[in-house]
Amino acid sequence: MHILVIGAAGMVGRKLVQRLAREKGLGGNPITAMTLADVIEPAAPEGFSGTVTALAVDVSDANVVRKLISGRPEVIFHLAAIVSGEAEANFDKGYAINLDGTRYLLDAIRAEGQRAPYVPRVVNTSSIAVFGAPFPEVIHDEFFTTPLTSYGTQKAIGELLLTDYSRKGFLDGISIRLPTICIRPGKPNAAASGFFSNILREPLAGQEAVLPVEDDVLHWHASPRSAVGFLIHAATMDLAPMGWRRALTMPGLPATVGQQIEALRRVAGEKAVKLIRRVPDETIRRIVAGWPRQFDASRALSLGFVAEKTFDEIIRVHIEDELGGRIP
């Protein structure tokens, strides 16, 4: 089996590739080759004996995308995107990568299938940014998509295209909307959502972290390990029960900042909690207030997607996967 990962150098992409390399198979089929593409050349995974082709590519170039598909990968993970802030600041770049790039991918698959039968599984990462305030307290599976960013607009369009190309039989696609990934490994970053991870990751490493919002801020979380699990499940499940409703909000854990901190206290003690410094930031508070808070992801749950049930679990996943199993 040949797998293509577009966006393989990102945080979730890297973890996905590592897991595929470790398991050496997908849905019972041995993986013989992986093509890893990103805007920078992705690292090859360790301990994988199959063929690895790592490529630095620009998916807003239709010819480049056609070349990626000419290898006829059976499974395609499409994780590449210009993120929300950048797509908002650079309108043309966001549309070029997030909309045109996705369409080039779907059209390349269709063209390949016109040469000889070819209907790959395509797992497309979408986002809860397809939703825009005002929201009901809990967003259900049939709530409409009214994005308030260009990024969310591009993701919503990608969902529609993937479904239509699936319905026409050109590919077998599913779009999954990821929750906020927590705990993001790495350094604190400037993203408005960064603090959800910072206030756990930094104290677990003995470092201070800044909390810019109140304790009652509610948000929707899943671990990086769960995100990879969603992708693998989406790549291997039977999609027929979904009908032509191929975009799906992933399950997650609703938790307030206060609940995050309580979980940190239980797992790492008062010493860790003391490293959280409260520095209210009105700008971040306002941005976060416009985000969806909680979902009823019944449909995804009924289709076998699984996320964490407690924040203690989310913290333990981080300790296992990033800190070698113990708090330094």
Which residues are the active-site residues? 151
Element at 36 (helix H, strand E): strand 33-38
Binding segment (CB under 8 A) for a second copy, from list 8-16, 53-61, 158-166, 214-222: 158-166
Provide φ and ψ at 258, rounded to 5°. -60, -40
Q: How far is the CB of 244 from a second copy (least distance, A)?
A: 6
**CB nearer to a second copy: pick between 95 and 220:** 95
Q: How far is the CB of 153 from a second copy (least distance, A)?
A: 4
Q: How far is the CB of 293 from a second copy (least distance, A)?
A: 17
Residue 173 in contact with a second copy, rule: CB under 8 A? no
Provide φ and ψ at 50, rounded to 5°. -75, 180
Q: Which two structure tokens, joined as six digits, stand for 25?
A: 């198979």
Q: How far is the CB of 148 from a second copy (least distance, A)?
A: 6
**CB nearer to a second copy: pick between 98 and 193:** 98
**CB nearer to a second copy: pick between 72 and 135:** 135
Which residues in the 99-138 window bind a second copy by CB under 8 A? 132
Measured from the Cβ of residue 326, the count of other Cβ atoms closer than 10 Å reads: 7
Would you state the torsion angle of the CA atoms of residues 52, 57, 62, 68, taken in this order, to the nearest 10 degrees? 0
User: Which residues lie closer than 8 Å to 269 by C-beta, 6 or more apart?
Assistant: none
Q: How far is the CB of 302 from a second copy (least distance, A)?
A: 15
Measured from the Cβ of residue 325, the count of other Cβ atoms closer than 10 Å reads: 9
Strands (E), 224-306: 247-249, 253-256, 276-278
Measured from the Cβ of residue 35, the count of other Cβ atoms closer than 10 Å reads: 22
Binds a second copy by CB under 8 A, chosen from 145, 193, 197, 198: 145
Binds a second copy by CB under 8 A, chosen from 40, 56, 160, 289: 160
Binding segment (CB under 8 A) for a second copy, from list 3-11, 141-149, 256-264, 276-284: 141-149
Residue 153 in contact with a second copy, rule: CB under 8 A? yes
Residue 297 in contact with a second copy, rule: CB under 8 A? no
Taking alpha carbons only, the member of 66, 38, 35, 37 closest to residue 48 is 35
d(CA 176, CA 227) in angstroms, rounded, equals: 10
Contact status, residue 80 vs residue 102, Cβ threshold 8 Å: no
Binds a second copy by CB under 8 A, chosen from 20, 69, 157, 192: 157
Residue 91 in contact with a second copy, rule: CB under 8 A? yes
Binds a second copy by CB under 8 A, chosen from 18, 53, 90, 146: 146
Q: Total residues contacting a second copy (rule CB under 8 A)?
A: 21
Binds a second copy by CB under 8 A, chosen from 46, 137, 142, 238: 142
Contact status, residue 234 vs residue 123, Cβ threshold 8 Å: yes
Binds a second copy by CB under 8 A, chosen from 43, 52, 55, 143: 143
Contact status, residue 35 vs residue 4, Cβ threshold 8 Å: yes
Taking alpha carbons only, the member of 252, 251, 276 closest to residue 262 is 276
Residue 90 in contact with a second copy, rule: CB under 8 A? no
d(CA 172, CA 90) in angstroms, rounded, equals: 31
Q: How far is the CB of 279 from a second copy (least distance, A)?
A: 31
Binding segment (CB under 8 A) for a second copy, from list 54-62, 113-121, 157-165, 176-184: 157-165
Which residues in the 232-251 window bind a second copy by CB under 8 A? 244-245
- DSSP label of 94: H
SS3 154: helix
Instruction: Kindly list the residues in this chain that would bind a second copy in the complex (CB under 8 A).
Output: 91, 132, 142-148, 150, 153, 156-157, 160-161, 163-164, 167-168, 244-245
